[in-house]
Structure 1
Amino acid sequence: MKNRAAYFGVFTALALIFSYVETLIPINFGIPGVKLGLANLVIVIVLYKRGWKEALLLSVVRIVLAGFIFGNLFSILYSLAGGILSLAVMAALSKRDLFSVTGVSMAGGITHNVGQLIVAMLVVETYQVGYYFSVLLIAGVLTGAVIGIVASEVLKRIRIF
């Protein structure tokens, strides 16, 4: 248990590094808010290795720090909505043996985008941004699958905790 804080610090730093790397990748999908979600790799690993409470804490800390370092208040708001909804769904699905790590991650990618879309609808006070849903659904499936495949492979090889 004495290494718990050290591991949390390492995973926070790793998630922040992935957030920074993502800002350097010049991928523009033409739709606001569509990103690869590299930091979610760390969240999925911590969810499976340490549980939803530590994954939630890590997610919130990473979102707030990355928002202050690389973004703004609105990026924190959007990311928190997506991140918390995503983690709630992933935590619920990971407890059941019905879904693989990749399936759980895909569900997380989709619900992350849904959470951000809900906040966007509230902020701009119109449902017209809901037209982005189909694109965000596809993006969530694809990015969630990539993150899930990588997380699954890492979980097979990781020997800490």
Structure 2
Amino acid sequence: MRSKVAYFGVFIALALIFSYIETLIPFQIGIPGVKLGLANLIIVVALYKTGGKEACLLSVTRVVLSGFIFGNLFSILYSLAGGLLSLAIMVLLKRNGGFSVIGVSIAGGVMHNVGQLIVAMLVVETFSVVYYVPALLIAGLITGMIIGVAANEMLKRLINIDM
């Protein structure tokens, strides 16, 4: 039990550090809200090392803490919507067993953007933001692939560590 709490603390710390690092990186491609999602690297690793429940708790905790530290209430709302939808899909695909870590991460990246787009439609009360879909899907695919490759490499190095 103690080791799970310790690992959870380490995962939270790493996710918050990656969230902070991401605020320092000028990653602008002209589409509002598109980020690399470095903290999601920790979520993907946690999903494979600890399971869906722990990854969900980690994701929600990270979103709320980083939202209060680096963002605002709207950033928490958008991140929670994207993060929970993303995690739900990643848990299902991982459980299915037919997808690699990279494939699961790509699906998570795409669904994160879909979740945020749904919230944006509800907040602005219009479907006009649907024009962002192609760009957000491509961005989610690319960032999901980058995070998936990094997570896959991390998991190879953590193979002997039980959590």
The reply to whether residue 71 of structure 1 matches residue 75 of structure 2 is no
Instruction: List runs of 5+ in structure 2 lacking aligned partners.
Output: none
Provide the rounded CA distance (Å) in 2 between the counterparts of 1:106 and 1:116.
Answer: 16
The reply to whether residue 151 of structure 1 matches residue 161 of structure 2 is no
SS in 2 for 1:29: coil
Partner of 2:40: 40
Q: Number of paired residues? A: 161
The reply to whether residue 119 of structure 1 matches residue 119 of structure 2 is yes
One-letter code aligned to 2:79: S
Partner of 2:86: 86
CA offsets 1:22-56 (integer angstroms, 9 cap, x no match): 00001111111100000000000000011000000
TM-score of the superposition, structure 2-length normalised? 0.97
Partner of 2:56: 56
Partner of 1:110: 110
CA offsets 1:81-110 (integer angstroms, 9 cap, x no match): 000000000000001221100000000000
Provide the rounded CA distance (Å) in 1 between the counterparts of 2:2 and 2:11.
Answer: 16
SS in 2 for 1:3: helix
Segments of 4+ in structure 1 off by > 3 A?
none
Partner of 2:95: 95
Provide the rounded CA distance (Å) in 2 between the counterparts of 1:112 and 1:33.
Answer: 11
Percent identity of paired positions between Structure 1 and Structure 2: 70
One-letter code aligned to 2:114: V
Provide the rounded CA distance (Å) in 2 between the counterparts of 1:79 and 1:141.
Answer: 17
One-letter code aligned to 2:105: S
Provide the rounded CA distance (Å) in 1 between the counterparts of 2:94 and 2:56.
Answer: 14
Partner of 1:24: 24
CA offsets 1:108-133 (integer angstroms, 9 cap, x no match): 00000000000000000000001000
User: CA shift at 1:2, angstroms?
Assistant: 1.9
Of the structure 1 ranges 113-122 and 96-105, higher mean CA displacement relative to structure 2 is found in: 96-105
Partner of 1:12: 12
